[in-house]
Amino acid sequence: MSIRFDKQKKRFVINTKHSTYAFEVVMDRYLYHTYYGKRTSVLPDPSYQVISFAPYLEGYDESRSPDVFPQECSFYGSGDFRPNALRLNSDGTGVCDFVYDSYRIFNGRVALDGLPAARADENTRTLEITLRDDVCGCRLKLYYTVFADVDVISRYMVIENVGKSDVKIEKCMPLMLDLNRSDFDMISLYGSHCREVNYQRAPLHHGTQSVYSKRGASSHQYNPFIALCSHNANQERGEVYGFNFVYSGSFLDEVDVDQRGHTRVLMGLGSDCFSYTLGAGERFCSPEAIMTYSSTGIGTMTHHMHDFVRAHILPPSALAPHPVVLNTWEACYFDIDEDRLVQFAKQAAQTGFDMLVMDDGWFGMRNHDRAGLGDWYENKNKFPSGLASFVSKIKAEGIQFGIWVEPEMVNPDSELYRAHPEWALRVNGREPLRSRHQLVLDMSNPDVVDYLIAQFDKTFKGIEIDYFKWDMNRHMSNVGSAAWPEDQQGEIFFRYMKGVYRLFDWFASRFPKAVIETCSGGGGRYDLGMMQQGIQIWTSDNTNPYDRTMIQASALIAYPAATMSCHVSNPHENLRSLDYRYKVAVGGMLGYELNILNMSEEVKRDIAAQIAQYKSFEHLMRAGDYYCLAAPYEYDYSAYYYATPDASELLLTVIEKAGNKKPQTKRLKLKAADPEKTYVDCQTKKQYSGAELRDGLVIDLTCDYDSAHLLHFKAL
């Protein structure tokens, strides 16, 4: 049983395959967190320490203060001065104080009212803890949904207003974890457009360290994923706690080290971009956050995250081979039309591509990025015979068809904006700021979402679309909505995301055979919320293979290769050979963005061979276990491999980094190889024993700035 309640001790114990999580009800009201770590049956009892200036209830002393002991959820204004998980305003003070009421353990999980949520399977179990605050008239339900096989526990909360008046939620952090130590490094992923997910690792310090987004998207700037690891942790050694948020909008991750050197981790919606008025009888579901623990290094934490994302987050269609696409963006930008793209499709089909993806520029007056967004019907100059006829010509070439959309945005120069200026986010009396010449549609307004549904339904009627690339190319400023009253304006960021998820759900049900790739100027929404909607994410607009080596290696800490859309593109051909660019791109799901009409027959033959080779091992990246041997943010080269769980196949990639002027020889230990097996290198046909591969494979890296190795081993 993954969840147990010890009645005598009033202790809840959650076990995953390799971890244990425990807390107890103390003083008949508080939830005292006692343990999260390596799986054990020996659990510590609560211990108390007297700390002056700590407020306590009558009949107790400072040692029983909520400011002192580790808790499961903390409430603003109720004696815990550390960053709080919840602030509820029923009387103008923001003070709330929930006390333990009851619990329930059940199979499966609860749905989250229109938010993405990890998929339960037959082994999923949930612990529900109910607390109540009779003063503010609310019930709080804390959820622990246990994915025991993949060592993940997810946390979310539901607030029910059972009183008679409105209550305002002013801060909401569904994941709170108190640890009675602070000798950790924090790993986070920061960046910017074209420079996403840079690895950062720094020791914790007293005070609060945070990563966040106030941009309305999870953002290029900070990814919601964070980890805490012991100072000595590396890929194979040390303790690591990993956290992530199943949400795509503004967020806050806080890590606080308090007066006693104890650490509190909080993950959720924060307070800057979130408030929510809960009327009498209403309920609010928070998004879900997840946590995992590894006692065997960062590599194991990564395995837990990858296994969880593949089994419980990605849509089942992501588990089948992803199509190898030829995307028109970097080849054509806005310069597309029917004749040109039918030629693209013909050549693409002959070269072995699965799909042509028509990127931006096909609709309205979209001849550049200053006009047309919002006008979701085909541009008749570019597609004179109509979209349906064009798509049938593409299909007649024997290739699938994908199309780009950016539903959440509008150009002021568009028919939609001229008809409905009130449908863009704006604050009364203030000029809305522009970004990429566009404004953000008010997805919190159900009329806007309904309109988009009706328009896309009309435009794509009877057309067999196999793939949508869903983009989002600006962040939100001056966030206000004409659709909501003044006292609910704080809800817009959150309601916006629910509108976006509703539209995604409509696309998924209206086009059940189509898959979705999500994108936000590359990796601006590289998060678990989007992964539930899309089979993969356009990792970055930066396709320079050197930069991509860094970006992909960092993304892989938290997200499996199945989620990374990686293209070979043209702009860097002077810097790197096609072979090098390909070997970087097969770090994830392969595609190409180049002008196939200008290509020599020789290059087309090379690409055809690359696609065929990729298809022989793509299951390893999509479904295999990932092992990082040398991360490029720590070493002067990059080396990693994938292994099938039964160790029957291995795929090793070694990439030379730019600027390395000396030849190097590396000995790479493929410890996932089975010592009892004999492997053959699929290209050279040379044989190796598993023991030899485990002991170390010698790889030479030359100093020509273009050295990349890809070795596929199969057990005989």
217 with 249: CB under 8 angstroms? yes
413 annotated active-site? no
Nearer to ligand DGJ, 358 or 628 (CB): 358
Q: Are 310 and 564 in contact (CB under 8 A)?
A: no
Residue closer to ligand DGJ (CB basis): 518 or 638: 518
Q: Which amino acid is at 333?
A: Y
Q: What is the Cα–Cα distance from 5 to 30, expressed in whole angstroms?
A: 16
Of 473 and 554, nearer to ligand DGJ (C-beta) is: 473
Burial of 547 (0-12, 13-18, 19+ CB in 10 A): middle
Residue 273 has phi, psi (to 5 degrees) of: -115, 25
Residue 341 CB, shortest distance to ligand DGJ, in Å, is 15
Within 10 A of 194 (CB to CB), how many other CB atoms are there? 16
Closer CB to ligand DGJ, 284 or 404, in the complex:
404
Q: Which of 471, 527, 625, 674 is catalytic?
A: 471
Q: Quote the CA–CA distance of 612 and 595 in Å, as a whole number.
A: 20
Q: Supply the DSSP symbol for 329.
A: H
Contact call for residues 225 and 557 (beta carbons, < 8 A): yes
Q: Least separation, in Å, of the C-beta of 596 and ligand DGJ?
A: 17
**Smallest distance, ligand DGJ to C-beta of residue 344, A:** 16
139 forms beta bridges with: 132, 160
Smallest gap from Cβ 329 to ligand DGJ, in A, equals 4
Angle among Cα 242, 229, 641 to the nearest 5 degrees reads 70
The residue among 65 and 473 lying less far from ligand DGJ, judged by its C-beta, is: 473
360 is catalytic: no
Nearest to ligand DGJ of 241, 470 (CB atom): 470
* Least distance to ligand DGJ, CB of residue 538, Å: 5
Phi/psi of residue 457, nearest 5 degrees: -60, -45
Residue ranges in contact with ligand DGJ by CB under 6 A: 329, 359-360, 404, 471, 473, 519, 521-522, 538, 541
103 and 127 in contact (C-beta within 8 Å)? yes
Q: How many Cβ atoms sit within 10 Å of the Cβ of residue 214?
A: 18
Active-site residue, selected from the candidate residues 359, 541, 625, 674: 541
Residues in a beta bridge with 515: 467
The Cα–Cα gap between 252 and 271 comes to 8
Shortest distance, position 334 Cβ to ligand DGJ, whole Å: 8
Task: Report in angstroms how near the CB of residue 440 gets to ligand DGJ at its nearest.
Answer: 15
Residue with smaller CB distance to ligand DGJ, 196 or 491: 196
Q: How many CB atoms lie within 10 A of CB 372?
A: 25
Write the DSSP assignment of 602-658 as a string of letters. HHHHHHHHHHHHHHHHHHHHHHSEEEEEE-TTTSSEEEEEEE-TTSSEEEEEEEEPT
Report helix, strand and coil shares of the chain as percent, to nearest 5.
25, 35, 45
Nearest-CB residue to ligand DGJ? 360
Report in angstroms how near the CB of residue 539 gets to ligand DGJ at its nearest. Answer: 10
Rounded Cα–Cα distance for residues 699 and 295 (Å): 31
Residue number with CB closer to ligand DGJ (253 or 517): 517
Catalytic residues: 471, 541
